[in-house]
Structure 1
């Protein structure tokens, strides 16, 4: 009631901004973790924190994902099929088709938005990978975590990043790591530090307010990098090889009740080499790669344990719903031999050289590596299933899931075999938390959920199945599950040379063969019944067609060439000219494309005195990248490709006002030249390699006047700031014209 004066007025009654006693929610999403790689799922890898979570909760053995990261995350956040919400594939290659835009449509409200509307404090930590390629530098921000319901964010937007010097974002700002790797920095520890700090801050100010923490680890996705003491604890543990490891793991899984007593190993495919046929040098290499992976996973587990301990110390553990999942099966992107630099397999068709891999044995897991294990270990990591990430066989889509809520779920340490899917997770969380799914959010009508609640099976292991059908499509690999039967195509993913040339199957959608498995009885998809039950196969393929239409799955694609050709990136404005000043930092996606040739001109005022030191420009790291720097009157432009350095060096006379470096692609290589206004042509070099089109999987930043925490070469220590006389650099892409000092100087002066 409002009257003339405040003392005579009374406001409308209000309700509390949040429901007191509402459970907190934590969702842990691990990356590329296989079904058999946790101790509580039969592994001999040390994961005591996650095993402890399983002992306090419920393990699911029949949980399914989409076979690749971004689509699974879309399901986990929205409760809707990934194609329906525009995330049918990675947003790195968005296309203007409904299922592949890389953007959630109106009406696809997230779990964060729903819980936020209920007064929850919401924060996202770690990997995101749900932003279209062209929107990761300066927005638009509507697909960043803060645009889809999270109050705060700290992590990385891309699908992968370096553990020692990651490309980090705080809320909507790109930031550098708090310290360099030489001072003990590692991303997984940093993510845990941030999560603990944010939870502690909330607890200090409003200890009753419920929170939703979305925590997506970088591990164990490549690059496999961990502190050496965590890797060395596994020395010698995998020397017997992947075949023996599979057998031992299956035995442990049976003993735990994770798999049926009559389960058998899927046949090792012909393209995975028997360990007995691997020569001693490669055995040593492959075993070490697995040691690195194991140390990486254990280090990650330790950090998750720190977060859970912090929640416990705040007195909030019993009333916190914790869900832990993997986003897909173990990854085989290391190929048959693994890789010291796994990015090479994704961005090029350069074949593996075992001698080169062996030469980097001591680098594996460390600062100068971007490693991945061989696909024999991926097959083992998905024991007892067929195949791996990017394929819709069970090895790609069947993953660990643990649910814990001490105050709300009984029978700790128990196991459920009910069929569940990633879309079911947010629906179940809302059900457990007592929150009704809204019909509208922010005035926008909401799309129906595809997920169903599995709260019933959580409470009662004897409860009936809540999900009886599920379609799958990942990078052209298709499958359909219904009532204990599954049909899956033999289509081969075309992303890497190893897939295309080594894996048997179809590369033509019109010629794909469908296999049929009675998975209720054939746990590991070992017996194809397509010839015996053509009626059942026809039923399932017709059902897939119907689901594909309902979820707008078409058109299909199985590689990157067609997607790149139709990539829709309206927020990128390609330029051929950049004027950059000291302190600038430009994202690779929006920066100069140097691989087709370039001229860079660095200007100095006052002129160079002859003793200057510091970085002029830098992009990338010691695996792949380039840097231009001064050191005591000598200029160096260094290119690093797959760890090999190529240098152009020249003395710079005192009194020099500008230096140019030209790069020209020639016969598969690169010709480079230094020029100065004082000496003309100062040095030339021809290299057998060109500049890569992609320097880093997460988009290498070009920095001007300083270096990032992990330098491109050992000649300088970051930040290695440029001398104060350095005023900026002009970058022009394309084949450089003949050098004309007066023309270059005039061009530079226009920007002073």
Structure 2
């Protein structure tokens, strides 16, 4: 067995690896006066390497993909490279995640349950409670750090979303960024989602801009795969004897669902039958593939999701196009994975590389509303009524492109989780937590093109990799005693399909949705429905939640609730859930809305406070959370600029992008302010005279109408203290311009707030910009439910 050979080789290992960093031991022996003395002898310097035979490791984590999406697990989206890996490896058909992004990634990279490392929810909803503070404790050193300190080269490419929100500004601290957690190289994005055409990227901790534009063919999925292959080639060129750990986590297929049209067009007409028929078709294929047993039952459509027959006929073409785009997005992602695999094959290291492909960090996303959306910020911002059938139909050809920020309807998400109930966020049921996973390692096990049915969880990946590499779980890391791994290695199952499962008990919890798995039985209760986040949404008391019971040894899909027949077993599992919850910091349960949305009430630090903020020229890529929020109130923007003799052109300061935002800039030498309302309306105010050469202050003032949130107001522009133009904004955005667009001084990065300018860099100089808020804030009128809806929609 592979793990037996690891143990045998570790006996000859010259390094003691239970304390990290491995202590430097000074040689003991004769010290001579003259190096030419024949008795002068020192052992040669031995570079730190992992134990002999330790494999390269490639972990691929795809985003927001349900169990029933990929063709490798019977889904409608063609993923030939996933199938290729599966044909040469193993499919794990009972592998589980946490039902949400940040928690799954934290559990994957630490080998501990998500509450044990403070990530009980997404980082944006952190509280001061230990299980939800978003801070990985130093008693749980992440896998990348352990591998690096044992001689591995390490790189993370793609999505992070593991950084506490108050540590995401250019000032860090970078303790929990990838480079602080053991990855020697990072290229990707920090937040929960980013634009595939205008991404907010970092290389290490430095913001970087794409080398080309969407018009020139730029696409993030391509870019990430190219960086992954480039890093692997360089690593093997310069250190061929040193194994690597590459964590490749594309932002796909998280919203926005962006993909070049040729990928979506492959699926033209293939989803016209709707999501109900699609579930039936997928279910049949899954049985044929053996990824579910032949006697499995297709669960009913989850409550609240309309049948396809109920959909307005005018909306059906739009909804079908949403799914075509998603399918093309996933196929393109598979294509990028293929490029990385081809690189390994070209280098002759494919078979010696341990590969994990986890197809989804949770179930498919139901955060796009019941009808889907062209610009998710419209729906999240409370203006879903704008997206009428006529509005959506008029933009059907723009879906998936740079002008859109789209997400599919809940019905498609549920179909992508076939054959299970519910979706992402619902940790109680397998629709939120069961994700098809593939393992390939020809030099480590002989089985291929087989399925494995042992229950496993994402916390099992780290212990598996360490056992495969012959590296012990460290007792101390950087002087801190470590808490044990909470996952179990999967290595025992690689060559033994019949091996008794070793991960016998696992709790689940997210937003109060709770479940427990124990030796084939599951007890579950759904507390909250992902798409019910409006002002009328109310949460029941936790003790009022109704628990269900399933014997998954005979009911694979959790289709038949048998709690009434086995009340004693249900009570036993409920008690076990509570015991596990106490053990792993799940308690106190927290389904609060307003408190988790507001840092001061949640108990987490905030990046910005007060009513004034001074920014300086050259500052850029400032996240929306690191800049004063100027929504639902009056405000002013004042800047000191130097205008050259040839006149001014370009951005003084801009925030947001095509999904919404505002910009103060010079166009044809004239000071201009543009407010972009969700990309639907652009309101312009222009000065009546041009900017003269010299150094002076320019200013815009916005006088808010009041009377609620998202209202309009009047704009006045000033040059050197004198008014030079007025304008009107009829309505404003109440919550958030974007998930990933930023604030930039003297330039604009990402997508443009307006196409009124093509010159973004200010031709003169911007010394500083001061943002100042008025006293008429109406933010108190924002409901708790509305806050949470926006937070959750962009994670």
| TM bracket (short chain) | over 0.9
**Does structure 2 retain, via aligned residues, the 8 Å contact 1:492–1:499?**
no
Which residue in 2 is equivalent to 1:465?
Answer: 501
Task: Give me the whole-angstrom Cα distance separating, in 2, the residues matched to 1:335 and 1:388.
Answer: 13
The unaligned stretches of length 5 or more in structure 1 are 738-752
Q: Secondary structure at the match of 2:613?
A: strand
Measured against aligned partners, the alpha-carbon deviations of 1:551-576 in whole angstroms (never above 9, x if no partner) come to 11122223542212433343624243
Which residue in 2 is equivalent to 1:26?
Answer: 58
Give the direction of change, closer, same or farther, for the CA distance of 1:357–1:655 in structure 2 (3 Å limit).
closer
**Any residues of structure 2 matched to 1:28-177 within 5 Å, and which?**
28-137=60-169, 138-177=171-210
**Does structure 2 retain, via aligned residues, the 8 Å contact 1:633–1:652?**
no
Measured against aligned partners, the alpha-carbon deviations of 1:524-554 in whole angstroms (never above 9, x if no partner) come to 2121111111101100000011011101112
Task: Give me the whole-angstrom Cα distance separating, in 2, the residues matched to 1:685 and 1:191.
Answer: 43
Once the two structures are TM-superposed, the CA of residue 43 in structure 1 deviates from its matched residue by: 1.4
Give the direction of change, closer, same or farther, for the CA distance of 1:470–1:72 in structure 2 (3 Å limit).
same
Measured against aligned partners, the alpha-carbon deviations of 1:234-283 in whole angstroms (never above 9, x if no partner) come to 11111111111111111111011111111121111342211122232211
Which residue in 2 is equivalent to 1:741?
Answer: none
**Any residues of structure 2 matched to 1:619-698 within 5 Å, and which?**
619-654=655-690, 656=692, 657-666=696-705, 667-668=707-708, 669-677=711-719, 680-698=722-740
Aligned: 1:449 with 2:448? no
Give the direction of change, closer, same or farther, for the CA distance of 1:239–1:654 in structure 2 (3 Å limit).
closer
Query: Which of 635, 639, 642 pairs up with 1:598?
Result: 635
Give the direction of change, closer, same or farther, for the CA distance of 1:696–1:459 in structure 2 (3 Å limit).
same
Give the direction of change, closer, same or farther, for the CA distance of 1:270–1:84 in structure 2 (3 Å limit).
closer
Give the direction of change, closer, same or farther, for the CA distance of 1:632–1:123 in structure 2 (3 Å limit).
same
Query: Which of 371, 376, 391 pairs up with 2:426?
Result: 391
Which residue in 2 is equivalent to 1:342?
Answer: 376
Q: Secondary structure at the match of 2:341?
A: helix
Which residue in 2 is equivalent to 1:715?
Answer: 756
**Does structure 1 retain, via aligned residues, the 8 Å contact 2:670–2:690?**
no
**Does structure 2 retain, via aligned residues, the 8 Å contact 1:76–1:426?**
yes
Task: Give me the whole-angstrom Cα distance separating, in 2, the residues matched to 1:513 and 1:349.
Answer: 33
**Any residues of structure 2 matched to 1:357-376 within 5 Å, and which?**
357-376=392-411
Which residue in 2 is equivalent to 1:202?
Answer: 235
Task: Give me the whole-angstrom Cα distance separating, in 2, the residues matched to 1:709 and 1:352.
Answer: 25
**Does structure 1 retain, via aligned residues, the 8 Å contact 2:697–2:721?**
no
Q: Secondary structure at the match of 1:309?
A: helix
**Does structure 2 retain, via aligned residues, the 8 Å contact 1:94–1:102?**
yes
Residues matched between the structures, number: 731
Task: Give me the whole-angstrom Cα distance separating, in 1, the residues matched to 2:381 and 2:441.
Answer: 43
**Does structure 1 retain, via aligned residues, the 8 Å contact 2:643–2:763?**
no
Which segment drifts farther, 572-581 or 20-29?
Answer: 572-581
Query: Which of 506, 512, 517 pairs up with 1:476?
Result: 512
Measured against aligned partners, the alpha-carbon deviations of 1:77-123 in whole angstroms (never above 9, x if no partner) come to 11111111111111112211110111111210111112112200001
Q: TM-score, normalised by structure 1?
A: 0.93
Give the direction of change, closer, same or farther, for the CA distance of 1:382–1:724 in structure 2 (3 Å limit).
same
User: Cα RMSD (Å) of the superposition?
Assistant: 2.2
Q: TM-score, normalised by structure 2?
A: 0.88
Which residue in 1 is equivalent to 2:17?
Answer: none
Which residue in 1 is equivalent to 2:571?
Answer: 538
Which residue in 2 is equivalent to 1:188?
Answer: 221
Q: Secondary structure at the match of 2:712?
A: strand
Give the direction of change, closer, same or farther, for the CA distance of 1:593–1:679 in structure 2 (3 Å limit).
closer
Give the direction of change, closer, same or farther, for the CA distance of 1:485–1:347 in structure 2 (3 Å limit).
farther
**Any residues of structure 2 matched to 1:138-537 within 5 Å, and which?**
138-325=171-358, 326-348=360-382, 350-351=384-385, 353-355=387-389, 356-392=391-427, 393-493=429-529, 496-497=532-533, 507-537=540-570
Which segment drifts farther, 242-251 or 268-277?
Answer: 268-277
Task: Give me the whole-angstrom Cα distance separating, in 2, the residues matched to 1:256 and 1:495.
Answer: 32
**Does structure 1 retain, via aligned residues, the 8 Å contact 2:675–2:729?**
no
Which segment drifts farther, 725-734 or 661-670?
Answer: 725-734
Task: Give me the whole-angstrom Cα distance separating, in 2, the residues matched to 1:302 and 1:378.
Answer: 22
Give the direction of change, closer, same or farther, for the CA distance of 1:506–1:529 in structure 2 (3 Å limit).
farther
Q: Secondary structure at the match of 2:414?
A: helix
Give the direction of change, closer, same or farther, for the CA distance of 1:675–1:279 in structure 2 (3 Å limit).
closer
**Does structure 2 retain, via aligned residues, the 8 Å contact 1:346–1:495?**
no
**Does structure 2 retain, via aligned residues, the 8 Å contact 1:673–1:681?**
no
Task: Give me the whole-angstrom Cα distance separating, in 1, the residues matched to 2:642 and 2:73.
Answer: 64
Which residue in 1 is equivalent to 2:42?
Answer: 11
Once the two structures are TM-superposed, the CA of residue 399 in structure 1 deviates from its matched residue by: 0.7
**Does structure 1 retain, via aligned residues, the 8 Å contact 2:745–2:766?**
no
Once the two structures are TM-superposed, the CA of residue 431 in structure 1 deviates from its matched residue by: 1.5
Measured against aligned partners, the alpha-carbon deviations of 1:133-173 in whole angstroms (never above 9, x if no partner) come to 11011211111111111111111111111111111111111
**Does structure 2 retain, via aligned residues, the 8 Å contact 1:607–1:654?**
no
**Does structure 2 retain, via aligned residues, the 8 Å contact 1:245–1:380?**
yes
**Does structure 1 retain, via aligned residues, the 8 Å contact 2:651–2:748?**
yes
Which segment drifts farther, 474-483 or 341-350?
Answer: 341-350
Task: Give me the whole-angstrom Cα distance separating, in 1, the residues matched to 2:119 and 2:766.
Answer: 45
Which residue in 1 is equivalent to 2:789?
Answer: none
Which segment drifts farther, 430-439 or 332-341?
Answer: 430-439
Once the two structures are TM-superposed, the CA of residue 16 in structure 1 deviates from its matched residue by: 4.2
Q: Secondary structure at the match of 1:370?
A: coil
Aligned: 1:553 with 2:594? no
Once the two structures are TM-superposed, the CA of residue 602 in structure 1 deviates from its matched residue by: 3.2
Q: Secondary structure at the match of 2:115?
A: coil
Give the direction of change, closer, same or farther, for the CA distance of 1:498–1:460 in structure 2 (3 Å limit).
farther
Measured against aligned partners, the alpha-carbon deviations of 1:666-690 in whole angstroms (never above 9, x if no partner) come to 2341323223347943333333322
Give the direction of change, closer, same or farther, for the CA distance of 1:222–1:148 in structure 2 (3 Å limit).
same
**Does structure 2 retain, via aligned residues, the 8 Å contact 1:598–1:664?**
yes
